Each structure stands twice: as C-alpha cells, then as structure tokens.
Amino acid sequence: MSKTKIITPNVRRVIDFPLKVGESPTWDDRSGDLWLVDILAPAAICLGADGRVDRFDMPVKIGCLALCESGDIAVALETGVHIMNPKTGTMKLLCNPDGGRPDSRLNDGKVGPDGCLWVGTRDEAIPQTGNARLYRVMPDGTFAIITDGLLTSNGLAWSPDGRTMYHSDSSGLFAQVFDFDPEKGVTGPPRRLRDFTPEEGRPDGAAMDADGFYWIAGVLSGGVNRLSPDGEVIEIYKVPAKSPTMPCFGGPDLGTIYVTTLSTDNNGTFEQGTVFAFEAGIQGTPVHRFAI
C-alpha cells in the first residue's frame, strides 16, 4: 500500500460573505455559473460568470440542488423536491419522497447518468437511529427507496463510464459503491469501499475526476480525500478550514476544484463557512442534468 500524499494547494477564497453550512457546489458548464446551497440560511446561491451573486432564500432547510436540462434548478428542501425557475425564483413541488417523516430531512443529492435525481436523507434524531434513506427520483416525480438503515446519506458520484455509483454515510464513517446501469440505475447491493479514520474526517460530499478517482470531503479533518477506485486514499488536499463539506470541478476545462465549508469552531477560533478554489492539474467530469 502506497503512503498517502498530503498536498497543500494554492487556495483562494471565492466569496466575501459568510455561509452557515455551505454545500452542494455545482458547476454549470453551459453558463459558467457556480451554484451552491447554504443549508441553514437557508438559501440557494448562484455565483454568476459575470461576477453577480444571485441569492434565492428558501422557506425551510435546503439539502442540495441540481441542474435541469431545461435550465431550471432542482432544489431538495425539507418539504420535498421542488423545481425552481432561476430567472424568477418561483418554485413548484415535484414530489416529497420523504413524506414528512419525523427526524428526517433531504440532504445530499446529485443527478445520475440515468437523468434521475438521487437524493438521500439525514437522520436528525439525537442520538441517531438509522432512519436515513437514499431515494431515486424520476423526472415525472415518481420515486423509489434504494437503500435505508443509514445515518447520513451523502457522497454521491459516478464513475466516468457511468457503471459505478459512489455513496457515503457521513455519520457511519464509510463509503460504498453500487453497480450501476445508465438506463436502469442501481443493479445490485452495495459493496463497502472504505471505512474512514478520524484523521481522514467524516466522509461528506463528493465529486469524480476524469481519471475515475473519487474526491470526498473530510469534515473536521481540514482536507479533501482523493480515493482510487479500490478505495485507497492516495492524496489529501488540505484547505484552510476545519470542515470542508463538498468539492466540485469547474472552470472552462473542469480543472478548478471548488470546495464549500461550514461554520465551525477550530481550536477555539470560530470560522465562517465559505467557498475555496484551487487547481490540482486534474480534470473533473461534467455533472449530469435532471431530465426535466
């Protein structure tokens, strides 16, 4: 087993306003806009290619967002998956897969190669009871439970060939993979990819690079872990924040890595959540769009 390489990239801050819980950074390769959410604000935020900042305040907690083929934005709220018009900010309910279950809310989500929105939930009970799930939401609003018994569903990403789906349980401290068919979705039970150590952090949001390596944020570790397809942490990219939450690839050549963070106490010093960016000489894969 090779030794993990610790890398401290040349990081720049992208925004000049604070985030409570920054999450779900998503690069729009058609417009050059960077979208993200602040779960607790709650808000969806668009950092425009022209420098503008558009903020869409939400009525309840927002877990994630995703791009739609139509140009609309899918937002996963406590009250369900809504489709938002980014020009007007108006929203319409598509479905509520979680159905208002107690101690539960929609959390991390991404669109797969199948054009469906895959979105999980977080078990909000204290202590957690294992009620979290992962859903597959179809463009027509129908949905299915893919797996349950989780604590905090997170870390969704797909291999470049669309044949493997990656997924994590942040509170369970593990990542797993599913065999995936770009037409049918998941085709079998999950396989454990890695159990994370405290030094590697709590496995949070994730992205995929063009070489098939899985990038997953390590909350409380101050780093983003780059995993090989067999689950080995080959590199850890350190950022100047204790709690990175999710990376994404952006820029004209998908060569810029954006990382959201959350507000946290770092050894007695309070850090505001923000968005960082750096280059690592590695290209990402474009995100898929919800077939709406």
**What are the residue numbers of the active site?**
204
Contacts of residue 40, Cβ cutoff 8 Å, sequence gap at least 6: 20, 21, 61
SS3 (DSSP) at 198 = helix
Q: Compute the chain's Rg from CA coordinates.
A: 17
- The number of angstroms, rounded, from the C-alpha of 101 to the middle of its chain's C-alpha atoms is 22
Which residues share a beta bridge with 233? 227
The owner of tokens 């900042």 is: 53
Beta carbons within 10 angstroms of residue 55's beta carbon = 12
CA angle 253, 247, 286 (to 5 degrees): 40
Residue 208 pairs in a beta bridge with 214
DSSP state at residue 273: B
The two three-digit tokens of residue 88, written as one number: 């007007």
Pairwise CA distance, residues 90 & 78, whole Å: 17
- The β-bridge relationship of strands 5-7 and 233-238 is parallel
Nearest by Cα to 245 from 43, 106, 108: 108
How many residues are there in the chain? 292
Q: Are 146 and 152 in contact (CB under 8 A)?
A: no
